[in-house]
């Protein structure tokens, strides 16, 4: 079982992954190229945990121990003793490949390298690694502590031992792991095309408004959120990158055509909650 976990990227996903594993007893080291992102993530997690403690969900001693298990790393080299490193950095293939190459020069041969990519091929991320058999997908959903599903993605060369170890780790943290093949969008973001991409198409064709589509999909089929609410939560930059990546990987199958509305809104910085405005405004 993994004892010391490095998390790289202290954004929406990295901070959640750090909190999840600190809460389940692992030592977590959090690294980001922006030092302020690490400080913000740790402060955010402390605040969430303190609120949970105030509601009686843990004792003061458990709160202090959980917070102490999440430590900042000032450099990548500080992750050298980790037995698992999970990256949640920007969704760009070459940047993720370079990060894993840098890590392979630092960590031991037994260390597993996991990617939280939403839409890139795990096999391609692994293809430039010295040891592609140690690379697997570990795809969480936002917010990580609350969204219990995690996809464990088996790349073409991923060692089955590592797949099973990630499954066991997810289970001991109280999550539900689903082993998925390394196909475009894996399971959730493949099925999710019908939800998000089609909703954008309905909007561009003037079939219904943002609010109507969200309301109907919440109240009709009973989704917890409408597609536009979900875009705002995820960040349209992330969602649009997923749409483009799935479209590319399916050889431009028209079913997956991304939306010009999303491209325009990303260019305008209307990304969602993180920029204060997306399809809705956030004060
Ligand atoms: P984010 O923009 O909130 O955070 C990314 C962080 O990575 C930033 O703090 C940035 O400074 C840091 N970073 C960028 N390049 C780096 C590098 N080379 N080394 C170290 N740090 C670096 O992004 P996010 O929403 O947390 O997404 C991160 C990853 O998780 C992406 O691959 C994304 O596709 C995936 N993902 C996102 C969601 C979601 O709902 N947002 C869900 C599942 C998976």
Q: pTM value?
A: 0.94
| Same structural domain, 162 and 198 | no
**Per the domain annotation, does 64 fall within a domain?**
yes
Find the CATH number of the domain harbouring 220: 1.10.1040.50
Q: What are the tens digits of pLDDT across the range 100-113?
A: 999 999 999 999 99
Residues 200 and 64 in one domain: no
Domain stops at, among 181, 200, 221: 181
The Å distance, Cα 30 to ligand 1 centre, comes to 13
Report if residue 175 sits inside a domain. yes
Question: Residue 226's domain spans which residues?
Answer: 192-275
Q: For 242-282, what is each residue's pLDDT tens digit?
A: 999 999 999 999 999 999 999 999 999 999 999 999 999 99
For tokens 């190459």, what's the residue? Answer: 101
80 and 208 both lie in a single domain: no
Q: Which residue has the tokens 């939306």?
A: 259
Among 152, 181, 210, where does a domain finish?
Answer: 181
Residue 283 has pLDDT above 90, yes or no: no
Number of domains in the chain: 2
236 lines ligand 1 (CB under 6 A): no
Active-site residue, 60 included: no
Residue 226 has pLDDT above 90, yes or no: yes
141 lies in the same domain as 196: no
Asked which of 161, 181, 201 is the last residue of a domain, the reply is 181
d(CA 179, CA 205): 37
Measure the CA–CA gap between 136 and 251, rounded to whole angstroms: 24
Going by pLDDT thresholds of 50, 70 and 90, the confidence category of residue 70 is very high
| Residue in 139, 162, 175, 240 annotated catalytic | 139
Contact 182, 152 (CB under 8 A): no
Regarding whether 24 and 72 lie in a shared domain, the answer is yes
At residue 192, the pLDDT reads 87
Residues 6+ apart with CB under 8 A from 135: 100, 112, 113, 114, 115, 122, 125, 126, 129, 155, 157, 158
Give the model's pLDDT for residue 269. Answer: 98
Distance CA 111, CA 274 (A): 33
Mean pLDDT of the chain: 96
**Do 63 and 137 have their domain in common?**
yes
Q: Are residues 171 and 237 in the same domain?
A: no
CA of 261 to the centre of ligand 1 (A): 23
In a shared domain, residues 176 and 90? yes
- ipTM reported for the complex surpasses 0.95: yes
Asked whether residue 52 is domain-assigned, the answer is yes
Q: Residues 255, 194: contact at Cβ < 8 Å?
A: no
């Amino acid at each position: 079982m993994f004892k010391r976990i490095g998390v790289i990227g202290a954004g929406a996903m990295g901070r959640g992954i750090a909190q999840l594993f600190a809460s389940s007893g692992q030592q977590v080291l959090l690294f980001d190229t922006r030092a302020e992102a690490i400080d913000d993530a740790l402060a955010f997690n402390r605040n969430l945990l303190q609120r949970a403690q105030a509601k009686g969900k843990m004792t003061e001693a458990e709160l202090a121990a959980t917070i102490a298990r999440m430590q900042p790393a000032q450099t990548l080299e500080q992750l050298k003793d980790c037995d698992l490193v999970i990256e949640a950095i920007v969704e760009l293939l070459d940047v993720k490949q370079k990060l894993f190459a840098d890590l392979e020069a630092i960590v031991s041969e037994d260390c597993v390298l996991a990617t939280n990519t939403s839409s890139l091929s795990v096999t391609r991320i692994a293809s430039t690694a010295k040891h592609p058999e140690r690379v697997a997908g570990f795809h969480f959903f936002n917010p990580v502590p609350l969204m219990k599903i995690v996809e464990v993605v088996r790349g073409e060369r991923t060692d089955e031992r590592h797949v099973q170890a990630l499954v066991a780790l997810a289970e001991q943290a109280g999550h539900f792991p689903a082993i998925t093949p390394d196909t475009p969008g894996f399971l959730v973001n493949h099925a999710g095309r019908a939800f998000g991409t089609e909703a954008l198409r309905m909007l561009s064709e003037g079939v219904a408004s943002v609010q109507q589509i969200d309301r109907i999909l919440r109240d009709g089929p009973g989704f917890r959120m409408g597609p536009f609410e979900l875009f705002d939560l995820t960040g349209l930059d992330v969602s649009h990158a997923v749409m483009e990546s799935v479209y590319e990987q399916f050889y431009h199958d028209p079913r997956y055509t991304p939306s010009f509305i999303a491209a325009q809104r990303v260019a305008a910085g209307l990304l969602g909650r993180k920029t204060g405005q997306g399809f809705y405004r956030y004060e």
